Amino acid sequence: MARNFLRYIAMAAASVVVAASASAQGLIRDAEIEETLREWTDPILDVAGLKPSDVGLYIINDPSLNAFVANGQNIHIHTGLIIAADSPGQIKGVLAHETCHIACGHTVTRSRAAGVASRPALISIGLGILAIAAGEGGAGAALIGSSQQFAALNFYVHTRSEEAMADTAAVSYLTELGESPEGIVEFFEKFRAQEVISQARRYPYFRSHPLASDRIRNVRMLADESPTRDVPPTDREQHQYEMMRAKLIGFLDTPGKVRREYPDTDQSEPARYARSIAAMQASDMQVALDDINSLLVDEPDNPYFWELKGQILFEGGRAAESVEPHRKSLELKPGQPLLLINYARSLNARAEPGDIEQAETALRDALIAEPNNAFAWQQLAITLEKQGRRAEAQLATAESAYAVGDLQRANIFAHRAREQLERNTVDYRRADDILLITDPSNPDNRDFYERVSRRGVNQFSITVGEH
C-alpha cells in the first residue's frame, strides 16, 4: 500500500516493513480495541485482588490461537484468538483464566521461562504503519528478530494443578461479577480436538495450556453450578466484540477474505467497518470513505469512526483534510494518547501556520500518558526539527531509539544532543542519562553491542535533518 506521507521515515526501513508484514508478529496498538479489552479485563483484575493499573494488557499480531502471561504482570493475547472466539464470553473466560496465573502466583513458579522483550516492534492499527522509530533497516531488523521471543513463550509449561486452579478461579471471578462463566467452557469445548492431535500440530495455547477431558468436565461442572451461568452478554459487549473482530479482520486479512466474511449484502456496522478498512488497505479510498461516511451518519459521535476517516484521508494523500477528522476524534475522546499522535502526525504533514506548535502540544500530552511510545517520540523529533530546534530533535530521536531498545542509536543521538544542549537543563540531564544507560562499556549492554558488531552494519548514516 502506498505510504505517500511516510517519506520522513528512512528509506532503509522499507525492507523492514515488508519483513514485518510477512512475519505477522509484533504488538498491535489500537485505541478502540485496547479500550474494549480493558473494559472487560479490569473488573476481573479487581475481583482477583489485583490493581488494574499494575497489569499490562498487550495484543500480539499473530494468527495463531494463543494467550499467556509473561514478564511479570502482563497478559498477552493473540489476534488469532480474538478472531477465533465466538463471543465476548469466550474472550473473557480466557482473560479470567490468565488473570489467575498472575493472582495465584504462577508466574513466579515459571520465572525460568524467557521474558518478552520490553520494547518490541510496534504495529499500530490506529496509526496504520509500522513504528520503526529507529528509522532504518538495521535496527528495525533487530526488533523484528526479537519477535522470536514471543514464540518461545508459547512453551510455558503449566502444571495440571495450576490449570485446574486457573479454571476454578476464572469461574469464580466471572460469577462474582454477575457474568456467565459459560464462555470458558464453550472455548474449551470448541477446541476439544486439540486433545487428540499431535503436540506439534496443536495451537500454541493448547501446547502451553494442555487440554484434557477431565479438565473440560471439571470446568463444565463448575460453570453449571454457577448462579450466573445463563446471564447473556450485554448488547454493548456483543457490539464491542463484533466491532473488534471486524476491525482486526479488516486490517489483517486480504480484501478477498474480508468480502467473503462480510459480503456487500451485509449492511451491519461491523461489516461496513471491516470493508472500509479493507478498502483503505487496498488503496481503494473512495470505497473506504463511502463506508466510513455511512457509519458516521449512523453514529456521528463515535470517535473511532472519525479516527478511521482521518486515517483513510491521510493514507490517500489528503493530509490536510485528515486533520479535522482527527481533531473531531479527540473532541469525542479527549486526551487519548494514540488519537493525539494521529492528530499530530496529520498536523506535521499539513504544516500550515500554527500546525507544528499544535502538533508539539499534542505529542507532549501523549508522551505524558505514554512516555515510552517510540512513534510519538519520532513524530516529536520531526516537529522539533521543523522548528529548527535541532538539539531537542536529536534528543527526541534518542528517546525514540531507546524506547524500542536500539541502544546504539540512542547513544549516538543522545551524544549529539548533549553537545548542543545548554548545560544543567532538564533536556541536558536527560541526554546524559540516556548516555549512561546505553554506554557500551556497561556490562548490561554487552550482548546488544556484540550482536551489532557481529552484523557489521553501519546503521547510523541517517540524521534527524533527513526526516
pLDDT in tens, 68-112: 888 789 999 999 999 999 999 999 999 999 999 999 987 655 544
221 has pLDDT over 70: yes
Structural domains in the chain, sorted by start: 26-225 (3.30.2010.10), 389-443 (no CATH)
pTM over 0.95: no
Residue 225 pLDDT class (50, 70, 90 cuts): very high
Going by the DSSP 8-state scheme, the letter that residue 363 receives in this structure is: H
Average pLDDT, rounded, for the chain: 82
Q: Can you state the angle between helices 374-386 and 337-350, rounded to 10 degrees?
A: 30
Q: What sign does the dihedral 460-21-41-70 (CA atoms) show? A: negative
Looking at residue 227, its pLDDT comes to: 97
**Nearest Cα to Cα of residue 326 among 302, 314, 342:** 342
Instruction: Determine the pLDDT at residue 112.
Output: 45
Non-local (6+) Cβ contacts of 136 within 8 A are: 10, 12, 13, 459, 460, 461, 462
Picking from 277, 260, 238, the residue whose alpha carbon sits closest to that of residue 30 is 277
Least reliable range by pLDDT among 20-29, 47-56, 248-257? 20-29
What is the per-residue pLDDT for 463? 35
The mean-pLDDT minimum among 159-168, 236-245, 393-402, 420-429 falls in: 159-168
Alpha helices in 30-136 (DSSP H): 31-47, 79-84, 88-103, 106-109
Cell readout for 231 is 446471564
Closest CA to 289 of 276, 302, 299, 298: 276
455: region left, alpha or beta (phi > 0 left; psi from -120 to 50 alpha): alpha
Single out the residue of 453, 451, 437 nearest to residue 398, CA to CA. 437
Q: Name residue 134's amino acid.
A: A
Question: Among the residues of 191-232, which ranges form H helices?
Answer: 204-208, 213-225
Confidence of residue 200 (pLDDT cuts 50, 70, 90): low
